[in-house]
Structure 1
Amino acid sequence: MTIPVADVNAPEVLERQHGIDAYQALQGQLTAVQGVLATKQPDKVLMVGGDCAVSLAPFNYLSGRYGRDLGVVWLDTHPDISTTEESHHLHEMVVSSLLGKGAPGFNAHHPLASDQVILAGVIEEDLRPMDHNVFDYQVQRLTPKQLREPPNALSDWVRGHGFKQVAVHFDLDALSPTAFRSIYPAEPGTDPADFPATVGQLTLPEVANLLTQLDQSAELVGLTVAEYMAWDALNLRQSLSGLSLLE
C-alpha cells in the first residue's frame, strides 16, 4: 500500500507544533502507517528509504506484537534519543519516542524498556549535549571498535537477554563515507571532516556480518534501511533537468 507524503513546498506543512517541525504532516503519515499495520497484521516488517523516523510506527507495532521477546538494535552513528528540549526534528528522537519518553504525540503506544534497546555504532567521544539521554535512560551501547572486537557482541546481547525476535534499524550513516558513498556525509565536493555531525566508521561487509549473526541468533522480524542518499543519481537528474528533450 502507498502512504501519502505531504507537499513540502506548502509552508504550513513544515509548521512547528508541540516542539516538532512539520508536526501535522508527520502525524498524518504516522497514522497512515499505523492503519496499514493494524489492517495487515504482518509478522515481519521491512522498511527501505526515508529518515530515521520511518522506524517509529513499525517498531512500535512489533513491540505490541512480541512484547518482551523483542530486542531492538539501533545501528546508527547517532543515538536519536533526544526530546523536544534538545531538538525539533522527529528523526532525532525516535529511540526516546519508542521508549515512551520522546516527542509529544509520537510516543509509542507499546513502549520498549531500556534493556530492550542497544545502540550500535555510536562514537561516544563525539556524542553531543543533545545526546545526553544515552546516559540518562541507561541504554546499552557498543562503539564501532566494540562491534569488531569481538565481532559477535550483538548476537551475544540478543542471546543474553533471551530475545526470541529482533528488529534492526540500520541507518546507512553508520557506514564510513569512504566505504559507502550514498550517504549524507559523502556529498560530492565536500569533505566528510567538515560534516556538522558524527561520521560513521563501519564498512558494509562488517554490517552485513553483524546482520547475518543477528539473523541466526533470533527471528529477524523488522529491518529498516534508512538515510539513503543517491548523490550521483540526484545530481545527474538535476544537471540534465533543463534539457528540452527531457521536458
Structure 2
Amino acid sequence: MTSMHPSGPGALRLIFPQWQGAAGAGAVGSLPAGQPHQTQLSYHLGPALLELLSPAHEGPTAFVPVSTDTSDEAVETVDGIYAREAVLRQLREGLRLVSEVDPASVVTFGGECSVSVAPFSYLAARYGPDLAVLWVDAHPDTGIPGDSYTGFRSMSLSTLAGAGDGEFLAALPAMVAPSNVLHIGLQDWQDPGMANKHRLGISSVGITDTPEDTRRILDWLALTGATRLAIHVDLDVLDRRDFTGSTGNGTRGVRVPDLLRIMDALGDAGEIVGLSLAQHAPLELLRLGGLLRDLPV
C-alpha cells in the first residue's frame, strides 16, 4: 500500500484546521451549554490529531493559520457565505503556502471539506487536464451562494469546478473540469447542492461493498484519460461501525476495507498527487477538555 501514498521529498503535508466552512453553532453535534461554537471548533482540533497519528513524513509541512474568533462579526454571513471574510482570507493563505513550496504532491489534513479547494486548485494548475478529482463524500458539496445552507464546505467542490462566488473563483489559479470529477459514496441525494451537481454534469459511483464499485471507478478514470489523481475523503462518508469521529449517517456508509480497496486500485491506475482527509470532529475530546476546565487541575 505504500506505493499509493503521495509522500517523499516532493510532497507537502498541509495542516489546514479550517472550521468556518461549517455554518452554525450546532453544525456537528451538541456540547454542554455555554459552548455554542465548540462543535465547529472541533474541526480545528481534528487536523492536529491526524498529524499526530500519521506516519513520519519525509517532506515539508505547512500550517495554514486559522482564526478561532467566534464573534458575531467574525462569522457574519455575507453574500450567502457564512464567515465569508475568514474563509476567503484563509483560502488565499493556503494557496500562498502551497505555491511557495511548489510540491509535486500534497496531503491535506483538515478541517471541514473546503480545505481541499486550495491544494486541489494548485494541483489543477500544475497538471492541467491530466488531473482527475475523486470526491469521496456522503454529501455533494456542490452548493452555491443563495442555497439554504450557507457553509462554504457545501460549496467547495462546485467552486473547484468553476461555479460559485466570483471573488473565490478569481482567487484560484486553476479549476477542474466537471468531466474530470467523480463523486464516490454519495448518500445525501436531497442536498440543495444536487441541482447544481446535475447542472455541472458531475458523475457519481455509489458504494455497494463489491469489487464492481472499483471497476466502475476505474472505467470512469480511463475515460478521462487522466493519470494523476487528487482524492478528497470526507470522513463522514465512513460507516459508523468503523469510525465515529465525524458526522456520519449511521450504518449505511462506506466500510473502511472498501475504501482501502478502492484507494489501492486507484494507486495502481494512476499517480496520487493529492489526498485530503477532512471533517474529523473529535467531539469527545472537546467534552473532555470541558471537564478539565472545570476540574482543579
TM-score bucket (shorter structure): 0.7 to 0.9
- Give me the CA root mean square deviation: 1.9
Bigger shift: residues 63-72 or 156-165: 156-165
Structure 1: runs of 5 or more not aligned: 186-191, 194-198
Distance 1:22 1:242, change over 3 A: same
Structure 1 residue aligned with 2:132: 71
Contact 1:75 1:174 in 2 (8 A): yes
CA distance in 1, matches of 2:86, 2:213: 43
Contact 1:52 1:94 in 2 (8 A): yes
Bigger shift: residues 218-227 or 100-109: 100-109
Distance 1:150 1:5, change over 3 A: closer
Structure 2: runs of 5 or more not aligned: 1-61
Is 1:204 the counterpart of 2:256 in the alignment?
Answer: yes
Is 1:166 the counterpart of 2:218 in the alignment?
Answer: no
Task: Report the CA distance between 1:200 and its aligned residue.
Answer: 5.3
The match for 1:113 among 147, 162, 177 is: 177
The match for 2:117 among 41, 47, 56 is: 56
Say which SS state the counterpart of residue 79 (structure 1) adopts.
coil
Is 1:182 the counterpart of 2:245 in the alignment?
Answer: yes
Instruction: Provide the identity percentage.
Output: 28
Contact 1:173 1:200 in 2 (8 A): no
CA distance in 1, matches of 2:197, 2:211: 21
Is 1:234 the counterpart of 2:286 in the alignment?
Answer: yes
Contact 2:140 2:191 in 1 (8 A): no
Contact 1:82 1:130 in 2 (8 A): yes
Structure 1 residue aligned with 2:187: 123
Say which SS state the counterpart of residue 167 (structure 2) adopts.
coil
Aligned residues between the structures: 233
Contact 1:90 1:103 in 2 (8 A): no
Contact 1:93 1:103 in 2 (8 A): no
The match for 1:94 among 156, 163, 175 is: 156
**TM-score, normalisation: structure 2:** 0.73
Structure 2 residue aligned with 1:216: 268
**TM-score, normalisation: structure 1:** 0.87
Task: Report the CA distance between 1:116 and its aligned residue.
Answer: 0.6
